[in-house]
């Protein structure tokens, strides 16, 4: 497929992608959009001009909206047809390619738009599905011989997080405050977190509402997943290590998570399917699945100090995940838990086997015992005030590239 829109061959937003987001156009109005190369396309106006006519189930302009939720809820038969139609419109020689007025009215340069949070998130769940990450954390905080807890290989461990503090890329995050207990102290102290960390994650978004008592099987799961985003689950390690027993993360996590503005559909990621890691012992029947359910998505994390250059500190891959998205959603709902349109489900920290692929500062510096040096000579054990963390992700195979752009966030001092 060749588009009439010029873009760099290394663009995340090729004609093979067609992601969805929400933008403010010319500081005037908000609408659902897509992107090709460095052009952001106003889908509400494209709809008004009749370019999306004839798609069964698309009976009104759901693109005149502040979120993707109404569009997503139409389900795969409609959203996939819309994506395919947009793809056709972007081809050389298409009806749109020769319509200069429509192009002028619908296509915007990146600096003419401001990207917003793509979905309203009713509920958020964070999983813990990388065996390498879970093993590293278990070695650090518990007995190395028993790094994984007894349940870890039998179910996708997760917890319910805070939906209200999930923010779009570029939103600044204040350093959290809370209780911490230094190793040499006999009681906790209160103050700003001293061990602030990122967690390299991805998240999927569901497209339906279910009733309490209903379950979604592994075979049904992907039909219920609209697409994916990059996800930085900021973490206050010193607050967490004191508070997490017996009920898990609380203040250490709920102060903020950052997501990329573009939702990449599962259909765009289809060419990049890959086999999951072998699961041993065998899982229970409701967690079994057929086919390739993992995706080969290259991931990168950079740390940029204030007035300094970006330093790539991690290269990982989503394919490392021990528990896949279909298993996560099946487990989440097997007890009858209902889901809602826009719900977001994060993967948990994504780490590989080698140190360069570790998806958190906790692992990269081994709990601060192995600090690294940035290009400006500064040392880092954890994230300092005014540091910016940038995550990027893309899949590439046989000349086809589909990417997510980036999710970035700057840490400000505690209020």
Q: Check 16, 120, 133, 332 and give the catalytic one.
A: 133
> 88: closest CA among 193, 1, 203?
1
Q: Which H or E element spans position 140?
A: helix 131-141
> 298: closest CA among 374, 386, 391?
391
Distance between CA atoms of residues 191 and 360, nearest Å: 22
Distance between CA atoms of residues 173 and 254, nearest Å: 12
Distance between CA atoms of residues 409 and 391, nearest Å: 9
Give me the residues paired with residue 228 across strands: 204, 264
Q: What is the dihedral of CA 352, 358, 360, 362, to 10 degrees?
A: 120
Distance between CA atoms of residues 380 and 21, nearest Å: 34
The sign of the dihedral angle between the CA atoms of 83, 84, 89, 93 is: positive
Enter the tokens of residue 12. 């995340």
Distance between CA atoms of residues 216 and 402, nearest Å: 28
Residues in contact with 91: Cβ distance below 8 Å, sequence separation at least 6, in sequence order: 1, 2, 3, 4, 15, 97
Note the maximum CA span of the chain.
73
Distance between CA atoms of residues 129 and 324, nearest Å: 8
Distance between CA atoms of residues 54 and 89, nearest Å: 14
- The verdict on whether 331 is a catalytic residue reads no
Q: Which H or E element spans position 230?
A: strand 225-232
Distance between CA atoms of residues 91 and 59, nearest Å: 25
Distance between CA atoms of residues 232 and 169, nearest Å: 9
Catalogue the active-site residues: 133
């Amino acid at each position: 497929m060749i588009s009439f829109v010029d873009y760099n061959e290394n663009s995340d937003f090729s004609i093979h992608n067609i992601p969805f987001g929400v933008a403010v156009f010319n500081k005037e109005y908000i609408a659902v959009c897509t992107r090709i190369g460095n052009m952001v396309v106003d889908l509400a106006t494209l709809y008004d001009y009749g370019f999306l006519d004839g798609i069964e189930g698309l009976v009104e302009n759901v693109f005149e909206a502040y979120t993707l939720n109404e569009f997503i809820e139409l389900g795969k038969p409609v959203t996939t047809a819309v994506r395919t139609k947009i793809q056709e419109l972007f081809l050389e020689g298409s009806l749109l390619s020769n319509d200069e007025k429509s192009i002028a009215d619908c296509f915007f340069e990146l600096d003419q738009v401001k990207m917003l949070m793509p979905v309203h998130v009713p509920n958020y769940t964070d999983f813990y599905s990388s065996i390498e990450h879970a093993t590293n954390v278990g070695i650090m905080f518990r007995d190395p011989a028993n790094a994984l807890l007894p349940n870890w290989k039998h179910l996708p461990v997760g917890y319910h997080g805070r939906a209200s503090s999930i923010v779009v890329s570029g939103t600044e995050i204040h350093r959290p405050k809370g209780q911490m207990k230094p190793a040499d102290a006999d009681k906790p102290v209160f103050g700003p977190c001293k061990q602030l960390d990122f967690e390299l994650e991805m998240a999927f978004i569901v497209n339906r509402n279910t009733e309490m008592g209903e379950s979604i099987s592994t075979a049904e799961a992907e039909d219920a997943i609209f697409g994916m985003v990059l996800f930085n689950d900021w973490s206050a390690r010193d607050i967490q290590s004191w508070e997490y027993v017996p009920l898990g993360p609380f203040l250490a996590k709920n102060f903020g998570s950052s997501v990329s503005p573009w939702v990449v559909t599962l259909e765009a990621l289809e060419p990049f399917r890959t086999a999951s890691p072998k699961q041993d012992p065998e899982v229970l029947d409701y967690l079994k699945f057929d086919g390739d359910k993992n995706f080969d998505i290259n991931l990168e994390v950079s740390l940029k100090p204030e007035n300094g250059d970006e330093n790539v500190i991690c290269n990982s891959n989503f394919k490392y995940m021990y528990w896949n998205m279909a298993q996560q959603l099946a487990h989440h709902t097997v007890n009858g838990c209902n889901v809602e349109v826009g719900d977001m489900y994060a993967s948990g920290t994504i780490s590989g086997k080698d140190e360069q692929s570790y998806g958190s500062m906790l692992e990269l510096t081994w709990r601060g015992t192995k600090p690294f040096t940035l290009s400006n000579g500064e040392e880092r054990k954890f994230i300092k005030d005014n540091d910016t963390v940038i995550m990027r992700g893309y899949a590439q195979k046989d000349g086809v590239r589909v990417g997510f752009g980036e999710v970035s966030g700057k840490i400000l001092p505690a209020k």
